[in-house]
Amino acid sequence: MRWCLPLLLMLLLSAPLAASDLYTGEVPVASQDEAARAEAMVATLKQVLVKVSGDPAAGERPEVQGALKDPAPLIQAFYYRQEVDRSGPVPALKLYYAANFEPRAITRLLSTSGLSQWARERPTLMAWVVADGALMSAAQLAPLLRRAGERGIQLSAGSASAEENSEGGISLIDVERGEIARLRPVASRYGAPGVLAGRLYADTDGVAGRFAYGDGEREESFEVRGADIAAALHAAADETANRLAARYAFAAADSAPAEVAVVLRGLASAADFARVHAYLTSLSVVREVRLETAAGDTLDLSLTVSGGAERLRQIVALNEVLTVAGDSSEGALVLDLR
């Protein structure tokens, strides 16, 4: 095994993993001994399989059990980090094990096991949650944010201050009612195209919650329950991830490379073309971009895309570079520069 770190056992005081670290898994451990590390390697591989496929049961598939028996050959590097847990009455130091897995090896494992693959381009959602009549702070939302990262989605905590009826602010009522359209402009100012909003309340079985989310294209609502606030927040993150994966994760059979004709409009300069070209070639599903013709501010492109036009349409809708304008009379996908 090739290790990227000079020391096998390295302690880091750092922030938890972001959802963008799709091929890195992280789990709490009791110690750094070999037995604990062996269990943690299995747990982190399961976590990565869930994040990359979007399937919460990915680690239980019979086809991946062979890899789970010995995950070490798939790991590029591992490290430990410490974090102060302030969720209880007394701060406690917690130890985490993190493993970076080789992306191509994970892709092969997904393909041979029949699991779907969820592209790395995923909507960022800004989260607001009301509990006990007030917006929860970023610290209070930590269970939601951490669980989201474990599931491969990016949530950021919205401001904990609500300005009732003030221009540019948010209101508790909008959050409680899940008024996505009213919250999205605030989220977009901070670079988040989507919103997750909800309210937690006590009931006879513990804590329940009503949530709504919008990813920029679709809005949905759902309810969750948990034994306590942390469990309810975990459930909200899981349900959000499940719904996003159901929309954006594609089965291997639907991810074959296909040629996609694109009409690109609204380019005013060479700099615009360079910007769009850099964006398209950066997408994980785009394998090749070819210029066919140019006329005025319009270009005709031919792209090779894993999953074809539908996959490209979905991913482009998540960004702030291009807008999906529809299809041309010849069946090409029409994209406008924002």
Mean pLDDT of 11-32: 72
Identity of the highest mean pLDDT range in 13-17, 116-120, 239-243: 239-243
Mean pLDDT of 49-66: 95
Distance of CA 218 to the CA centre of its chain: 16
Which two tokens mark 275? 């910007």
Nearest to 284 by CA among 261, 253, 318: 318
Predicted pLDDT at 12: 40
Query: What DSSP character marks residue 250?
Result: B
Q: What's the rounded Cα separation, in Å, for the pair 12 and 78?
A: 11
| Averaged pLDDT of the chain | 88
Residue type, 298: T
Predicted pLDDT at 334: 96
Strand order in the sheet with 11-13: 11-13, 75-85, 92-101, 24-29
Pick the CATH number of 124-248 from 2.40.30.10, 3.30.160.100, 3.30.70.120, 3.10.400.10: 3.30.160.100
Among the residue ranges 71-80, 162-171, 208-217, the one predicted with the least confidence is 162-171
Structural domain spans, the chain: 11-113, 124-248, 256-337
Give 260's Cβ-side CA count (13 Å radius): 27
Query: In terms of C-beta density within 10 A (0-12 exposed, 13-18 middle, 19 or more buried), how is residue 148 classed?
Result: buried
CB within 8 Å of 43: residues ≥ 6 apart: 25, 27
> Is the predicted pLDDT of residue 225 greater than 70, yes or no?
yes
Would you call 238 helix, strand, or coil by DSSP?
helix
Percentage of residues of the chain with pLDDT beyond 70? 90
158-187 CB burial, b ≥16 within 10 A, e <16 = beeebeeeeeeebbeebbbbbbbebbbebb
Indicate the pLDDT class of residue 11, thresholds 50, 70 and 90.
Answer: very low
Tell which CATH architecture fits domain 256-337.
Answer: 2-Layer Sandwich (3.30)
Mean pLDDT of 194-202: 96
Nearest to 262 by CA among 280, 284, 287: 280
Which helix (DSSP H) or strand (DSSP E) does residue 200 occupy? strand 194-203
Handedness of CA 12, 18, 23, 27 (dihedral sign): positive
Residue type, 180: I
Helices first, then strands: H and E counts in the chain: 9, 15
Torsion of CA 219, 224, 20, 162, to 10 degrees: 70
How far, in Å, are 36, 207, 230 from residue 140 at the CA level? 29, 15, 9
Higher pLDDT, 116 or 217: 116
Give 166's Cβ-side CA count (13 Å radius): 8
